[in-house]
Each structure stands twice: as C-alpha cells, then as structure tokens.
C-alpha cells in the first residue's frame, strides 16, 4: 500500500469517527421576524414564540404547552424540566436546532452507557405528537430561553382559522 493510500484511509477513518461528534449549530436567535396566520418564525424560518410585554403568548406556545403536557410530560417531567426517566428538554433545546429536534422526535434516539440506557421512542406516526410538533417545539424553545415560565400560560392569542384547518387535516 502506498503512503498516499494509507494517508487517505486514515483520513477517512478519522472523518467517520468524528462525524458523530460534529453537531449542527446551536439554535439561533429566537426573535420572531415574521408571522403567518399566527405562526411566528425566526430569521432562519424556524418556528418560534412571541411573548408580549403583558406576558400574553402566541397560540402555538399555548397549544404547545397543552400538547406537551398530554404527550411528553410523563417522561420529560412538568414544564420540560426532566425527570429521573428522561432528560430536561429545557436544557436540551439550548443545544439542539429545529431539524435535530424533529429528527429525534420522529425517529427516536437511544443513548446507552455503562450506568444507564435512555431510549426516546420514535413518534413519527403518532398524530397526537406530529400534528402539533411545531407547537410543542415553540413552547419548549420559549421555555429554554426563559421567555415562557412554568405552568400554563395565563393568556394567549386566539386560535386562527388556519390552525384549525391544519389540525383537522392532520388529525383526519
């Protein structure tokens, strides 16, 4: 084997070994820069929250709290703070971007070490989660930055016709 071939093989091996360590960039600035039918987006087009100076949240943040409480709380604890069973999503969303969250929720995740085995089931076919995944993400994003406090948001923007139509279409 030539020296060039050996260097190429070593370079490929290092690339493969470190590929799992390379992460996407942290979530960007959560500031809402656009809105369509009550759904806010950041500068990168990712769903985000909007909290008014009076504490009123957008409808997606509110329904995200409701859907999180119905589908995620039993493992990840109240308000996304984690439990002995599953990690804090408030902390996780400080380091995961939108596409990473979507991939984990849809496809699941398994972390195994000598001391524990953590398994996030694939929820890609669960309509109660996937039809509301953007709202759940928005709520947890707001929690991860401290913009949304613990508990049910006291006031929220009204539900839009577009949200109702999308919900009805997705749920069947």
CA-CA distance, 20 to 1, in Å (whole number)?
Answer: 28
Per residue in 37-70, pLDDT (tens digit) is 999 999 999 999 999 999 999 999 999 999 999 9
pLDDT at 11 over 90: no
Establish how many alpha carbons lie within 13 A of residue 143's alpha carbon, considering only the half-sphere containing its beta carbon: 26
Q: Is 39-171 assigned to CATH 1.10.357.10? A: no
Q: Which residues contact 143 (CB under 8 A, 6 or more apart)?
A: 79, 80, 89, 90, 93
User: What mean pLDDT is reported for the chain?
Assistant: 86
**Banded pLDDT at 80 (limits 50, 70, 90):** very high
Out of 67-81, 91-105, 116-130, pick the least confident.
Answer: 116-130
Q: Identify the pLDDT of residue 12.
A: 39
Q: What does the pLDDT average to over 123-151?
A: 97
Instruction: Kindly list the domain boundaries of the chain, sorted by start residue.
Output: 39-171
pLDDT at 6 over 90: no
**Banded pLDDT at 133 (limits 50, 70, 90):** very high
Out of 22-26, 30-34, 109-113, pick the least confident.
Answer: 22-26
């Amino acid at each position: 084997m030539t020296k060039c071939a050996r260097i190429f093989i070593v370079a490929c091996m290092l690339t493969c070994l470190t590929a799992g360590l390379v992460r996407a960039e942290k979530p960007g600035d959560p500031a809402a820069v656009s809105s369509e039918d009550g759904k806010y987006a950041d500068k990168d087009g990712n769903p985000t929250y909007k909290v008014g100076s009076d504490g009123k949240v957008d409808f997606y943040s509110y329904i995200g709290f409701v859907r999180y409480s119905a589908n995620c709380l039993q493992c990840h604890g109240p308000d996304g703070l984690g439990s002995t069973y599953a990690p804090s999503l408030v902390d996780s969303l400080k380091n995961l971007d939108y596409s990473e969250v979507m991939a984990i929720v849809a496809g699941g995740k398994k972390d195994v070490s000598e001391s524990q085995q953590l398994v996030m089931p694939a929820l890609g076919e669960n309509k109660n989660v996937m039809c509301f995944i953007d709202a759940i993400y928005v709520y947890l994003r707001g929690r991860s930055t401290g913009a949304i406090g613990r508990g049910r948001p006291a006031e929220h923007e009204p539900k839009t016709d577009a949200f109702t139509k999308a919900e009805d279409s997705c749920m069947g």
